[in-house]
Amino acid sequence: MKKAMVALLSGVVAASMLMSTAVFAEGEKVGVSMPTKDLQRWNQDGANMEAELTEAGYEVELQFASNDPATQLNQIKTMIGNGASVLVISAIEGDSLGEALDLAAENEIPVIAYDRLLMSSDAVSYYATFDNYKVGTVQGEYIVEALDLENQDGPFNLEITAGDPGDNNAGYFYQGAMDVLQPYIDAGKLVIPSGQTAFEEVATPQWKTDTAQSRAENILSSFYADGTNVDVWLCSNDSTALGVETALAANYSGTYPVITGQDCDIENTKNMIAGKQSMSVFKDTRTLASQVVKMVGQILSGEEVDVNDTETYDNGVIVVPSYLCDPVFADANNYKELLIDSGYYTEDQLQ
C-alpha cells in the first residue's frame, strides 16, 4: 500500500512538472529569422527549429528574408512588435541589424545569433554555431591528405573560392583552411596560377553559385586554357562549389581537381557520389537546432545557459558567449553512414 502511494505521488509530481513546463512554454513566442530560402541548408535549419520549438510548446514566428537585409530588419522589428520573448537570428549581413537589436534591448528581449555572428552590438546574448575555424581546418586537412602533401613535392595548382564578405563566418572558414595550407604554399608545393589568394579577391558575395561560376570561368579561361591542370579548388561551401563544378564542366578538360565544400547539400552530395566533388563538411543542423531550443528553454526558465566558448567571438563591441558544435566531413566513402543511416537524407533523395 505504501509503495503504491509513493508511486502514485511520484506520478502526480511528474505530471505536475510536465504540466507546469507546458504552461510555462504556452504563450511564449520565439521569433526565428533565417536569411533565405534560396539555399537548402537554411530551409532545413528553419524547419528543424520550428518543429523542435513547437514540440517544446512555444509559439514560433519563422521568417525568411530573401537575402535582403532591409527585409530582415523589418521582419525582426515585426517579431518584436508581435511579442517575441526570445529572438533567434541568422543574419544576412552581420552589421545590418543594429536598429532591430537596439529595439530588442529596449524591450529586454534576449537574442541568440544563429550560425552567423551579429556584429557591432552589445544586444547579442548568445551565439550558437559550429566551430567555424575548424570547418576550414577540416577542408585544409582533407586537401593535405588527398594530395599527400607531406610526401609529394608537387607543385600542385590550387585555386580558392571563399564565401560572403558580409558573413562573419566566411573569414573563419577561409582562415582555418589557409592556416593549414600556407606552409605548403610557402614551400612551393602548392601554387596559385591566378595569384588570387587574399580573402577580398576570392570572396563570393551572398555565397551565390552564379557569381562563383562566373569567377571560375574567368580563371579557367585566363590561366588554364593552355592545358594546365588545376589540381585542387578550395571552396568554402557547397553553393560556391556548385558554381566551380559547373564552370569546370563547360570550360575544362584536364585532370579533375580535388574540390571541397560545406553543408552536404543534396546536389553536392550527388556530385560527391558521381566524383565531381571530393568532400563536404557536414554540419548536422539538427544538432544545432536542438542546442538552440535548449538554450531558449534555459533563457526563459532563468537557468544558466550552456556555452563552451567565451573568448573567440568578438563582435566588435563584446565577446559573445558561444556554444560551438563540432563539424565533420563527408565524402564518397562515408556519406551513407553520416547522411543516410543518421536519417538526414533518404537514399531516394540522393538518386
Q: Are residues 157 and 102 in the same domain?
A: no
Residue 277, in any domain of the structure: yes
In whole angstroms, give the CA distance from residue 310 to residue 153. 41
- Give the residue numbers spanning the domain of 67: 26-124+284-325
Q: Are residues 137 and 248 in the same domain?
A: yes
Q: Are residues 265 and 149 in the same domain?
A: yes
Residue 351, in any domain of the structure: no
Residue 268, in any domain of the structure: yes
Residue type, 107: N
Q: Are residues 153 and 89 in the same domain?
A: no
Q: Are residues 149 and 196 in the same domain?
A: yes
Burial status of residue 87 (CB atoms within 10 A of its CB: 0-12, 13-18, 19 or more)? buried
Domain boundary residue, one of 249, 268, 283: 283
Residue 52, in any domain of the structure: yes
Q: Are residues 265 and 297 in the same domain?
A: no
Residue 10, in any domain of the structure: no
Spatial CA neighbour of 310 closest among 324, 298, 299: 324
C-beta separation of 140 from 176 below 8 A: yes
**Number of domains the chain contains:** 2
Q: Are residues 267 and 295 in the same domain?
A: no
Q: Are residues 179 and 276 in the same domain?
A: yes
**How much is the pTM?**
0.81
Residue 5, in any domain of the structure: no
C-beta separation of 162 from 200 below 8 A: no
C-beta separation of 112 from 297 below 8 A: no
| C-alpha cell of residue 198 | 587574399
Could you give the residue ranges of the DSSP H alpha helices within the chain? 2-25, 40-55, 69-81, 98-106, 132-147, 168-186, 199-202, 209-223, 238-251, 266-274, 285-300, 335
Q: Are residues 182 and 210 in the same domain?
A: yes
Residue 7, in any domain of the structure: no
What pLDDT score was predicted for residue 211?
A: 98
What pLDDT score was predicted for residue 14?
A: 37
Report angle CA 345, 346, 347 to the nearest 5 degrees. 120
C-beta separation of 116 from 94 below 8 A: yes
Count CB atoms within 10 A of the CB of residue 28. 18
Spatial CA neighbour of 299 closest among 127, 117, 125: 125
Q: Are residues 177 and 257 in the same domain?
A: yes
CATH (domain of 247)? 3.40.50.2300
3-state secondary structure 57-107: CCEEEEEECCCCHHHHHHHHHHHHHCCCCEEEECCCCCCCCHHHHHHHHHC
What are residue 127's DSSP bridge partners? 113, 322
In whole angstroms, give the CA distance from residue 237 to residue 246. 15
C-beta separation of 94 from 118 below 8 A: yes
Indicate the DSSP class of residue 230: P
**What tens-digit pLDDT sequence spans the chain (351 residues)?**
333 333 433 343 333 333 333 444 556 999 999 999 988 889 989 999 999 999 999 999 999 999 999 999 999 999 999 999 999 999 999 899 999 999 999 999 999 999 999 999 999 999 999 999 999 999 999 999 999 999 999 999 999 999 999 898 999 999 999 999 999 999 999 999 999 999 999 999 999 999 999 999 999 999 999 999 999 999 999 999 999 999 999 999 999 999 999 999 999 999 999 999 999 999 998 899 999 999 999 999 999 999 999 999 999 999 999 999 999 999 999 999 999 999 999 999 998
Q: Are residues 186 and 82 in the same domain?
A: no
Q: Are residues 302 and 320 in the same domain?
A: yes
